[in-house]
Amino acid sequence: MTHSESALFDPAVQALDAFQIEIPSWGFANTGTRFGKFVQPAAASTIEEKFADAAEVNRLTGVTPSLALHVLWDLPNGIADVPKIKALERRHGIRAGSINPNLFQDQQYKFGSLCNPTQEIRKLALCHVLDSIEIARQLGSRDVSLWLADGSNYPGTQSIRKRIVWLEDALGVAHAHLAPNQRLLIEYKPFEPAFYHTDIADWGMSSHLALLAGPQARVLVDTGHHYASQNIEQIVAWLLHTGLLGGFHFNDRRYADDDLTLGSIDPYQIFRIFHELHATPSESLAPAGVAFMIDQSHNLKGKIEATVQTVVTAQELWLKAALVDRKQLAAHQQSCDLVAAEELFRGAFWTDVRPLAAQWRTTRGLPADPLAALRTGGYVDRITSERAQRQARVNSYA
């Protein structure tokens, strides 16, 4: 480590010690697009395998102690599956993270879930949300992350105003069922699968719904859920200012919600978002408890490799943003020295923090290069063989 790197190591330690990120169970499973699913022999097909893969990622990186779960995908029997999840937590040293209701898969949700014109379907959707809140309570999970695919594809085919009221009412009921330590995170998305109007299309709608639902509701920002070139860090700054930022689903995209690995397209954007978080006083962040979560679909990359790659990238970008000299930056901003301010800001982004991150890992008994350690450690080779054999047996009975 050079003298300049050594001078940066103490703030780097503080920044990396403070950083943890939640990984998604569905990131280890076979996924695809609307055109089909792409199968990988090492993909996890059971909740046991997902916990095992999550434990391997945490063993290599040391910063992913929780696993986001999708109700129905991971708990097909609902609350009855809670004891199994608790047993897996104990076995693998990974705790259940955010609980994600599934309000988009069943055929009954063709015209919406909480916003469906049919009252009976709205009630079924709300019951599922309430069950998810109870699952989270029994697992000790703080956050229930709510994303709706609700919307319409053609003008005039739905009453937008009525759907607003149905949604407001449902979220109010859901909030009333939260335990004191729980939160309801309300996600937004401008389009897809609804292509005319989406019921929760942007951060303004999510903010309104969170404020109306109650003090334990917050906004969830998915970095892929924005129009091209939208200033996401400005949205983050506003949500921090209003105290409504609940957390993130991190991914990257080229066109729309591509769910690519973090930083693969625009790492500077994530750096700018992290800067807004670092620039916010810690006492302002504490009440919000901003959650860092990954939401990616690893269609072509190896499941575990892609997860480790994203986690390491997130650490590096978080560290780069922590190294911004904010006192000097504020002076440049106040004097409107545009070039000096931008160069200071960009200088932190262009700093090679990989040696600092490697040193931090080494001092904590972690592999200096988690991705290299994964590739040489034998875990992926072993599960590829085991799971391919099992899948072959399953297919032989089909």
Mean pLDDT of 294-303: 91
Measured distance CA(116)–CA(296) in Å, rounded: 28
Tell me: pLDDT of 202 over 90. yes
Residue located via tokens 């903010």: 207
Residue located via tokens 């956050």: 143
**How many residues are present in the chain?**
398
Which residues 6+ apart lie within 8 Å of 349 measured at CB?
Answer: 268, 271, 320
pLDDT at 381: 96
- For residue 66, the Cα-to-chain-centroid distance in whole angstroms is 11
pLDDT at 319: 96
Cβ atoms of residues 204 and 242 within 8 Å: no
Mean pLDDT of 383-393: 82
Cβ atoms of residues 75 and 69 within 8 Å: yes
Tell me: pLDDT of 222 over 50. yes
Distances 391 to 44, 133, 298, 305, 397 between C-alpha atoms, Å: 11, 33, 19, 21, 10
Tell me: pLDDT of 375 over 50. yes
Cβ atoms of residues 216 and 184 within 8 Å: yes
Percent of the chain past pLDDT 70, that is, above it, reads 94
Please report, as a single letter, which amino acid is at residue 350. W
Mean pLDDT of 276-298: 80
Cβ atoms of residues 217 and 188 within 8 Å: no
pLDDT at 397: 43
pLDDT at 5: 56
Q: Tens digit of pLDDT for each residue in 47-91?
A: 999 999 999 999 999 999 999 999 999 999 999 999 999 999 999
Distances 31 to 40, 43, 302, 383 between C-alpha atoms, Å: 9, 9, 11, 18
pLDDT at 398: 41
Residue located via tokens 């001092």: 363
Mean pLDDT of 243-263: 94
Question: What does the domain layout of the chain look like in residue ranges?
Answer: 8-396
Axis-axis angle for helices 47-61, 82-92 (nearest 10):
30
pLDDT higher at 271 or 7: 271
DSSP 79: G
pLDDT at 42: 94
Cβ atoms of residues 187 and 235 within 8 Å: no
Residue range 8-396 in CATH 3.20.20.150: yes
- Rounded to two decimals, the pTM is 0.94
Tell me: pLDDT of 393 over 80. no
78: left (phi over 0), alpha (psi -120 to 50) or beta: left
Cβ atoms of residues 261 and 251 within 8 Å: yes
pLDDT at 11: 83
Alpha-helix runs per DSSP H in the chain: 3-17, 47-61, 82-92, 119-139, 160-176, 203-213, 232-242, 267-278, 282-288, 303-322, 326-334, 338-350, 354-363, 370-377, 379-396
| Average per-residue pLDDT for the chain | 93
Measured distance CA(354)–CA(370) in Å, rounded: 12
Tell me: pLDDT of 117 over 60. yes
Mean pLDDT of 156-160: 98
Q: Tens digit of pLDDT for each residue in 308-353?
A: 999 999 999 999 999 999 999 999 999 999 999 999 999 999 999 9
